[in-house]
Amino acid sequence: EDQVTQSPEALRLQEGESSSLNCSYTVSGLRGLFWYRQDPGKGPEFLFTLYSAGEEKEKERLKATLTKKESFLHITAPKPEDSATYLCAVQSLTGGGNKLTFGTGTQLKVEL
Amino acid sequence: DAGITQSPRHKVTETGTPVTLRCHQTENHRYMYWYRQDPGHGLRLIHYSYGVKDTDKGEVSDGYSVSRSKTEDFLLTLESATSSQTSVYFCAIRASGTRDSSYNEQFFGPGTRLTVL
C-alpha cells in the first residue's frame, strides 16, 4: 500500500526565513511525485511533478527535490503570500487509473 | 484554470436523503476523479472515471456511486447520506499531453462543502 507522510504538520516562519518541508513516501514503483498548494476554501493548485531521484524543479521562491525515499519543498525568503497548506502526493507504477495517494499536508504560516 | 466547475458549492442535507454532486469540465479530458478531504486524512479517492460509462472504485467508495454519461460531466451520488459523509468533496481531471508539459498531473475544482445533519 502506498503511503505518504508529511512533516512538520504546521510551520510558522518570519518573512525572509528560509525553510524546508518534508514528504516521505513508500510506493511500489514511483511513477511521479506531486506537490500542490491549497489555500483555505479552495481546491489544491498544482505546483510540481518530479519523476526520478535527483530531479529538481523551481518556481519563484519554491524548489522541489526528490530522492528515492523523500521529497523536499524548499522555500527561500518566504513572503506572507506563501502562507498555505502544501500537499504532497505519489503515483505508483502499479495499479490503474493514475491514482494519487496524498499526505495530510504541511500548514505554512509566514508572518511579517 | 482547468475549466472545472462543481455544483452545488455548499449543501446542507439530512441523514437518509439522496444527494448528487456534479463536476463539469470544458476541455474534453478523459480521466475524472472524485476525492473527499477531511482533517487528519488528507485527500482520499472515492471513485474515478477513465471514459464515458467507464468508472472504478477508489479507497473510500462505500456509500457512494458515480455516473458518467457524457465526457464533460461526472456525477457523485450519495444514495442515503450519513453524518460520516460530511466533508469537502473535490473533483479533479487528469491532464493529458507530453511529459515535458502536462503529464499525469491532476487539476482540481473549487470543491463542494457538504454537511449531513
CA distance B29 to B44: 21
Residue B45, beta-bridge partner list: B35
Across the interface, do A34 and B105 touch by the CB < 8 Å criterion? yes
Residue by residue, pLDDT tens for chain B (117 residues) are: 568 999 999 999 999 999 999 999 998 899 999 999 999 888 999 999 999 999 999 999 999 999 999 999 999 999 999 999 999 999 999 987 555 445 689 999 999 999 999
Mutation for B interface: A5, A51, A100, most B CBs within 10 A: A100
The percent of chain B in helix, strand and coil, each rounded to the nearest 5, is 5, 55, 40
**What count of CB pairs under 8 Å joins A to B?**
55
CA distance B42 to A82: 20
- 3-state SS assignment for residue B13: strand
Size of chain A in residues: 112
Q: Which residue has the cell 490503474?
A: A96
Tens digits of residue pLDDT in A14-51: 999 999 999 999 998 899 999 999 999 999 999 999 99
The percent of chain A in helix, strand and coil, each rounded to the nearest 5, is 5, 60, 40
B26 C-beta neighbours (distance < 10 Å), count: 11
